[in-house]
Amino acid sequence: MTLLFVLLTIALLVILIVWAKLNPFLSFLISAIAAGFLLGLPADQVASSIQKGMGALLGDLVIVIVTGAMLGKLVAESGAAQRIAGFLMGVFGEKYITWAMALTGLVVGIPLFYNVGFVLLVPLAFTLSYQYKLPAVYVGIPLLAALSVTHGFLPPHPSPAALVGQFGANMGLTLLYGGIVAIPTIILAGPLLAPFLKGISSQPLKTFQAEPKPESELPSIGNSVFTALLPVVLLVATTVLSLSVSPDNPQRPLLNFLANPSVVMLVSVAYATYSLGLRRKQTMAQLMDIYTVATKDISMILLIVAGAGALKQIFTDSGVSLALAEGIQSWDMHPLILAWLITAVIRIAVGSATVAGLTTAGILAPLVPTLDVDPNLLVLSIGAGSLVFSHFNDGGFWMCKEYFNLSIKDTLKSWTLMETIVAVAGLGGVLLLDLLLKVL
């Protein structure tokens, strides 16, 4: 019966989001309350479990997500993203335009949230398609593939960052492994897929054409790239140092502090405030206004993450994890494939990659110690599953359709196909990496 109640809870969550069109945060809260009563928790404990779950998850993540939004917004507003895109196009030229767009999406997509990256970079893709007289879908799909991969695989994006916290993974290692899986995945779903989409007719709306800043107002390429990638540099560097320093080293506590993702993101935002703001004659008041807008942009994401934490805590406090552990252990399936499959089913039903990833995490987080699997790879497996088969219930599907001015059929043939390739290739990459790590 326990497994049946879990499935009923997930079904309720799907119905509330998809059919009733209820806000995901409210849907999570209602589903968590229903799960608490179905799973036999005392009435007075249901509310306390929800509060505990929300606080525990947000306590680990709120700094990372908010500072990540601030950094991404400043990278966009300062023109740093435009500078990076223009530089890469100058290096690659028309012949390798799809590779340039994929690399642009990867570099700029790391600090930018998906929606911000989409709105910022897609108009640049349209500008390039007009300039070189190339199909817009052919130019744009590699960019969208890279943005999707960074959104699903790499911290500090909300879903992978939340999964790292729930599974007790290492954010630096997850980022390192994610980068290894991300590059071939982007190549397959981007530059290699793009030539097959040249026949898709697209007339992007003039409303979405880019309005680039004058060249004189852009930051230098060195400043743009270094500032955008500083969180990656710091996370990887401190992780490598942590692995090479013994636990009894007197410098270990300081290193652990510096390697904390919240500290890394605070340092990155502080540096960006100077390098892309104060150094370029912007006032502190102007910069704080940018940061205020950024926090408004991701407020709902924070609430959805909190709601997922509430559902996870209900599953934990009710003891459902033990029943699920017994059931899952009897399944003859690799844990990474199982995690991908659960996430994929929820993603197809609900439409939101973030909701799919966090819902799966709520189910599997208590079971991680029993699954004999690297938690960093589990994060990536769920991230891949959360991107599969984007269709009518996904906002990204409609953004692609409307921005590129495509038919439903052509959106399915381009966007949906690309997302599915990302999901399948991502899982393949994770399984290969798991095999390699076990051999080593």
pTM: 0.73
Q: Is the pLDDT of residue 321 over 70?
A: no
As a whole number of angstroms, the distance between CA 42 and CA 369 comes to 27
As a whole number of angstroms, the distance between CA 311 and CA 362 comes to 6
As a whole number of angstroms, the distance between CA 370 and CA 200 comes to 48
> Which of 126, 141, 152, 127 lies closest to 191, judged by CA?
141
Q: Is there a contact between 249 and 51 (Cβ–Cβ < 8 Å)?
A: no
Give the number of C-alpha atoms closer than 13 A to the C-alpha of residue 398, restricted to the C-beta side: 6
Q: Is the pLDDT of residue 209 over 60?
A: no
Sign of CA dihedral 229, 235, 239, 245: positive
Supply the pLDDT for residue 329: 54
Supply the pLDDT for residue 401: 86
Q: Which pLDDT band, with edges at 50, 70 and 90, does 367 fall under?
A: confident
The total number of structural domains that make up the chain: 1
Ranges 240-244, 271-275, 319-323, 346-350, most confident? 271-275
Task: Give backbone dihedrals phi and psi of 191, rounded to 5 degrees, phi first.
Answer: -60, -35
Q: Is there a contact between 219 and 280 (Cβ–Cβ < 8 Å)?
A: yes
Q: Which pLDDT band, with edges at 50, 70 and 90, does 305 fall under?
A: confident
Residue of 101 and 94 predicted with greater confidence: 101
Give me the domain span that covers residue 400. Answer: 2-439
Single-letter amino acid, residue 329: Q
Q: Is there a contact between 178 and 380 (Cβ–Cβ < 8 Å)?
A: yes
> Which of 148, 153, 167, 176 lies closest to 61, judged by CA?
167
User: What average pLDDT is seen over the chain?
Assistant: 86
Token pair, residue 282, equals: 């912007």
Q: Which pLDDT band, with edges at 50, 70 and 90, does 205 fall under?
A: low
Supply the pLDDT for residue 289: 94
Q: Which of 62-76, 189-203, 283-297 shows the lowest per-residue confidence on average (mean pLDDT)?
A: 62-76
Classify residue 352 by burial, with Cβ atoms within 10 Å: 0-12, 13-18, 19+. Answer: buried
Single-letter amino acid, residue 161: A
Q: Is there a contact between 328 and 322 (Cβ–Cβ < 8 Å)?
A: no
Q: Which of 122-131, 237-246, 323-332 shows the lowest per-residue confidence on average (mean pLDDT)?
A: 323-332
How far apart, in Å, do the first and last CA atoms of the chain sit? 42
Q: Per the omega criterion (within 30 degrees of 0), is the bond before 204 cis?
A: no
Q: What percent of the chain has pLDDT over 70?
A: 93
Average pLDDT over residues 13-27: 86
Q: Is there a contact between 241 and 88 (Cβ–Cβ < 8 Å)?
A: no
> Which of 334, 359, 364, 335 lies closest to 346, judged by CA?
359
As a whole number of angstroms, the distance between CA 35 and CA 259 comes to 37
Token pair, residue 283, equals: 């006032």
Task: Give backbone dihedrals phi and psi of 26, rounded to 5 degrees, phi first.
Answer: -65, -35
Supply the pLDDT for residue 222: 94
Q: What percent of the chain has pLDDT over 90?
A: 38
Average pLDDT over residues 420-425: 98
Supply the pLDDT for residue 326: 56
DSSP alpha helices (H): ranges in 24-42?
Answer: 24-38
3-state secondary structure of 250: coil
Q: Which pLDDT band, with edges at 50, 70 and 90, does 275 fall under?
A: very high
